[in-house]
Amino acid sequence: MTSSSALVAKRVKTSDLVSLSSIEETSSILCRLLREFLDDEAASFRSLEQEFLIKSILLRVPYILGVLPTSSGKSFSYLLTSALSISKVVIIIIPLVGLKSDILRRAREFNIPCTIYEEARTFENLTLVSIESIVTSSFIRQVQGLITSSKLDRIIIDECHLLITARSYRSIMFRFKELLVLCTQFVFLTGTLPYSFEDELKRSLLLDNLTIIRASSTRLNISYRVHVYKSREEE
């Protein structure tokens, strides 16, 4: 998929969302939205799982876990879907500073209003937030205000495996659970989450109704080779 800096974010038609529930219409509608967004008539989804993820987001499935390998279009899924509802706010929890800068740059290339909350303390169509900020009482009140005024579209947790693997996140998990009772859509994204961690994530966050979309994470360009040395000198 290629991008164009001259693109203008588009609004999705209500009729398109209704038609997404039809098996016969789904692929053609999503492909058209994708090609209009990229201004590329030859564009296609990188995988069936990426298409399922975008469809699930647009159909407002309440709790989604998307496991897609690196460079398979996880961040593109929220760039595209946020551009289709440009009047709403999408909050993206991003743990890495470098990733924030990359998403900010890509959003601006697509003319999607985007801001880093810690710098501006305001909300745009895409609002990038650190996990430390989103669990504060003041921020939770602001999120509740967005929901009350029907301005919040969804909350996306990128690199969500850190919720259960990063020691620094464990102390704030109980506050994070307070967000999950809010009446909005939650999308958890990661490129690496072993099957054994799925149950732990659902159990830790009390998400029994989590919809899981998982693509194969096999990397054909990576291989392992083992050689046994008989001595340190030989090595």
pLDDT value at residue 29: 81
Question: Out of 14-28, 30-44, 136-150, 196-210, which region has the weakest mean confidence (pLDDT)?
Answer: 14-28
**pLDDT > 70 fraction of the chain, expressed in percent and rounded:** 84
pLDDT at 143 over 80: yes
More confident residue, 235 or 7: 235
Domains of the chain: 48-214 (3.40.50.300)
This prediction has a pTM of 0.79
Taking CA atoms, 3 is separated from 37, 38, 76, 79, in Å, by 8, 5, 10, 11
Cα separation, 156 vs 154, in Å, equals 6
Q: What is the mean pLDDT of the chain?
A: 81
CB neighbours of residue 121 within 10 Å: 11
pLDDT value at residue 71: 72
| Sheet order of strands, 126-129 included | 114-116, 126-129, 89-93, 152-157, 185-190, 63-67, 211-214
**pLDDT > 90 fraction of the chain, expressed in percent and rounded:** 22
> Is 19 within 8 Å of 123 (Cβ atoms)?
no
pLDDT at 135 over 50: yes
Phi (first) and psi of residue 89, to 5 degrees: -105, 130
Residues 6+ apart with CB under 8 A from 45: 30, 31, 34, 51, 54, 73
pLDDT at 151 over 50: yes
- Highest mean pLDDT among 1-5, 37-41, 134-138, 218-222 belongs to 37-41
